[in-house]
Chain A
Amino acid sequence: MTPAIQIENLSFTYKGNTQKTLDQIHLNVSEGERYGIFGPNGAGKTTLINIMTGLLSYTGGSVKIFGKEVTANRKSVKSLFGFVPQDFSFYNELTPVENMEFFGAWSGLDKKKIGQKINELLEMMHLQDVRNKPVGKFSGGMKRRVNLAIAVIHEPRLLFLDEPTVGVDVQSRHAIIEYLKKLNEKGTTLVYTSHQLNEAEDLCNKIALIDQSKIIGSGPLVELLKRHHKYKLEDLFLELTGRAYRDGGV
């Protein structure tokens, strides 16, 4: 079976930098997995996600999504995945319906399909009552749900999630995680990054830990914990990455 993501020997250096942000990365994510990518600030997680989503161009190594090299097949690869950025990436002036209409069209859906998906997603995300109100007036949790709904409107096979629950209340976080699990049960592969490690334990069945530009540990979460004699992901994280502050560049 073709892996959802197959990364081989990927190295990446930002223009003007001498130090590599990613160095000799190898990663395999099988279809249907719930994969977590974790690491301290500045470890290279966001760079890795940006490369996988085609936001950054790479020259060294290979990155394939469902067997297609990202740089060579940008348009067809983009229709295979959805992306939930950490920022609220939508139009605050528009209603959830208007946002989904627009992003649905950009995701390649026709008007009829968009209409069907909007009703389904509004119900799933508990946004029916505010369907015609501008998103700018929503609470943080509601905005997070809109951010997620836009990313899944075209029913992608693979979903990238960058801190999808940051800054939301317990109820909204619970709803989002439950929705993601249901999505995964239907076959969507999840690639998730967050600093909420207890949430990650609940959601992910496989993880990769990145530090100092390299993957320092990867595999099924249960096996990794057992191998390092830890009970919690947070303890494993601290053992592998250390306790020193990682404030990144200023």
Chain B
Amino acid sequence: MSQLEVDNVGVHFGGVVALDGLSFSIEKGQICALIGPNGAGKTTLFNVISRIYDATTGSVTFEGTDLLKAAPHQIAHLGLGRTFQNLALVPGLSVLDNVKIGAHSRSKAGFWTSTLRMPQVIKEERQLTQQALDILGRLSLADLAERPCAGLPFGTLKRIEFARALASDPKLLMLDEPASGLTHGEVDELGELIQQIRDEFQLTVLLVEHHMAMVMSISEKVVVMDLGRKIAEGVPDQVRNDPLVIAAYLGAPAK
């Protein structure tokens, strides 16, 4: 059985069909890219998996668990971490605290034990800090740990979100346009980083990205969407030459 199975998922907002019977699956350890023109429904799918949107039809199964029956905050507990296309950081907290927020799902201290600052709370907090600093170091953000997020450049904030998603120790990492706001050199580095992190942490990666060079070089599987539907699926080379994909991106040839 595949790790993530998206089966016939449809999302309708009134008369607007954002997703129309989308099905695909990802194997454990894969880097899978979700591509398609703007408005294809890629982020909508992310939001369905994160339980921000309700699916009108279909099901999403992660390691045998029906995600659509889970509450939004339980998704992280099940091992799914994600980043956002337009960032969803907490501007009022430091970079370090933002990364620690990511670890919320795998830390335990409750309201009352935290209020009393019991020894286990202090110990857990120390571990969280150390792990968050390690991740920040891994992403070359260690120097920014104490800075507030507000005022940092977009590309840096994207990496902080990446760090936050990693802090939850996810099994499946969903990255929504991680390369936007980066220079060409940085994009190449990011591609390598995603591969390294996949190997190191043994995760599965689901990636929405417009940067084709990166998508084609790091993905093992590419799913192409257009207008809420899947139009192609396969290894990068297959997809690249698919006439439907070319038509979706460049328009159909004039007759």
Asked if A and B are interacting partners, one says no
Q: Which residues of B contact A (CB under 8 A)?
A: none
